[in-house]
Amino acid sequence: MNGSTPRPHTRIAGALLALAGALSGACGAPAPSTPIEHVILISIDTLRADYLEPYGAPTGLTPNVAEFAAGTIVFDDAITQATSTLPSHTSLFYSVHSFVHRAYTGNPPDPQLPSPVGTLRDAGFRTAAFVGGGQLRPRFGLDRGFDTYEIVDTRNIGSDNRDVDRLGNLLTATDGFLREHGRDPFFLFLHTYEPHLPYAPPAAFLSQVSAIGADGIGADLDAPLVEYTPDAGVPEGAWIADDSRRLYAAEVAYVDDFLGKLFALLDQMALTDNTLIVLTSDHGESLGERGLLGHNLFYTEQLRVPLLIRVPGLAAGRSDAPVQLIDVMPTLYALLDVDPPYPFMGTDLGPLLRGDPATGPDRVRFSENKGFAAVLQGPWKVVFALREHNNFQLFNLAADPGELHDLANERAARAAQLIRKYDGLVAANATLMSLFPRRGEEAAQALDEETRRELRALGYIQ
């Protein structure tokens, strides 16, 4: 934690002027009436898009997100770069794919590598993060570049604390930060594991979910669930399908309640009109589809994430353009007119925010996790083993949104063409990969007992 000495604001003043100029000249879009002075990036771990009202969830489940969305650009087709917490957040922060950052090894990025969050700090923003523990513990390296990086909620582990207001900790920490530094330019990152397994919502939100009939969002169940049975006090057999969906929906309602309090806090502190807000998640969750519960795979309900961006002065809207989490940091950098520390792999979504379709429907997107990768283009999605390219599945998402019909045999050439795009991407980014050198494995193995306990309870390790 640095002192309260104000940071130089020269870059920011320049950024604000440039932003005003850029926006006033773009596509007839109105110039923002108030400049961007603050940024809040919110990652709700494991949050499925379709459990939010702007993405079709029943009215009353997430009223605060619905109200927030009315002032944002809602991205309908956003995916994560990894359906696992650490690599996904690393891609979000660094705007590179998993094969570049290799965070899935558990090793932190090389200390020599400039962190994009640190570059924002150097540009004059006070940088702060309030996060859940687990894979966001500082030992995994996501704290790089933050003036303040605090774990404020590790109590979502186990099922013995259902009625504790766990998100109250996050709100209190945020309130404290804003009261001390709310007048400074800041980049604030907020994260919670609340809808992650084990689902343990406060009881009031279970009643809310039942009252509005939001117990069964998602596809019809067509197979028994794989039971999740960590050794952290979660009763075996508690995670049958109906219960899982009801509990998960109640977790989302709880998160919405927190977000309502956060947005009210910003209003009270007169921060709403000059704060850029991004609301997203690191991956989705299967809740019974194909008999699955949890994440780490590439099915749509796990790969798709909500992405809502509120830019002061820009009109609200929707975009169905194919976008992805690595686009967030380039978008922030462009809006703030800060030069990236190295070439980002994502795309600036600024034109889409202003209603100009910059990325076409044929954009190729990639995701990667646990030795497998997915390539998406148009209606096609191929999932293949990184060490065995002839081991793949191919789906046509337009004809088969439930991903039940593997076309690997019928359309093998199409699959091979998509897999070559991944190989091409890797080959074209050798220089960038050299910026993220592979570290030894010893750090990943030297977990302290508290970290082990948390990771086990969240299902990351045995």
CB of 103 to Zn ion, least distance (A): 12
Cα Rg for the chain, rounded, in angstroms? 21
CB of 282 to Zn ion, least distance (A): 4
**CA triple 281-286-290, angle to 5 deg:** 155
Q: Which stretch binds Zn ion (CB under 5 A): 75-83, 204-212, 277-285, 321-329?
A: 277-285
d(CA 16, CA 127): 18
| Structure token pair of residue 55 | 């993405």
Query: Nearer to Zn ion by C-beta: 256 or 282?
Result: 282
Q: Does 285 bind Zn ion (CB under 5 A)?
A: no
Q: Which of 153, 194, 282, 454 binds Zn ion (CB under 5 A)?
A: 282
- CA-based torsion, 41, 91, 250, 155: positive or negative: negative
d(CA 226, CA 239): 9
Query: Nearer to Zn ion by C-beta: 274 or 367?
Result: 367
Nearest residue to Zn ion by CB is: 85
- What is the DSSP-derived secondary structure letter of residue 142? T
CB of 219 to Zn ion, least distance (A): 21
Query: Nearer to Zn ion by C-beta: 309 or 455?
Result: 455
d(CA 147, CA 127): 5
Q: What residues numbered 84-103 form the site for Zn ion, per CB under 5 A? A: 85
CB of 82 to Zn ion, least distance (A): 9
- By the 8 A CB rule, do 329 and 422 touch? no
CB of 5 to Zn ion, least distance (A): 35
Burial environment of residue 8 by CB neighbours within 10 A (0 to 12, 13 to 18, 19 or more): exposed
CB of 61 to Zn ion, least distance (A): 21
Helix, strand, coil distribution of the chain in percent, nearest 5:
35, 20, 45
Query: Nearer to Zn ion by C-beta: 85 or 451?
Result: 85
Query: Nearer to Zn ion by C-beta: 197 or 314?
Result: 197
- By the 8 A CB rule, do 55 and 65 touch? no
- CA-based torsion, 417, 93, 300, 235: positive or negative: positive
Query: Nearer to Zn ion by C-beta: 45 or 147?
Result: 45
| Structure token pair of residue 319 | 């975009």
Q: Give the interface size with Zn ion as a residue count (CB under 5 A).
A: 3
Going by C-alpha positions, the residue among 244, 245, 280, 282 that lies closest to residue 259 is 280
Q: Which stretch binds Zn ion (CB under 5 A): 8-16, 180-188, 263-271, 282-290?
A: 282-290
Query: Nearer to Zn ion by C-beta: 47 or 259?
Result: 47
Query: Nearer to Zn ion by C-beta: 147 or 368?
Result: 368
- By the 8 A CB rule, do 7 and 126 touch? yes
- What is the DSSP-derived secondary structure letter of residue 55? G
Fill in the amino acid letter for 93. Answer: F
Q: Which stretch binds Zn ion (CB under 5 A): 83-91, 267-275, 356-364, 398-406?
A: 83-91
Q: What residues numbered 25-54 form the site for Zn ion, per CB under 5 A? A: 45
Going by C-alpha positions, the residue among 135, 125, 164, 131 that lies closest to residue 9 is 125
CB of 43 to Zn ion, least distance (A): 8
Q: Which stretch binds Zn ion (CB under 5 A): 6-14, 68-76, 118-126, 279-287?
A: 279-287
Query: Nearer to Zn ion by C-beta: 45 or 403?
Result: 45
CB of 193 to Zn ion, least distance (A): 7
- By the 8 A CB rule, do 392 and 409 touch? no
Please report, as ranges, the residues that interact with Zn ion according to CB under 5 A.
45, 85, 282
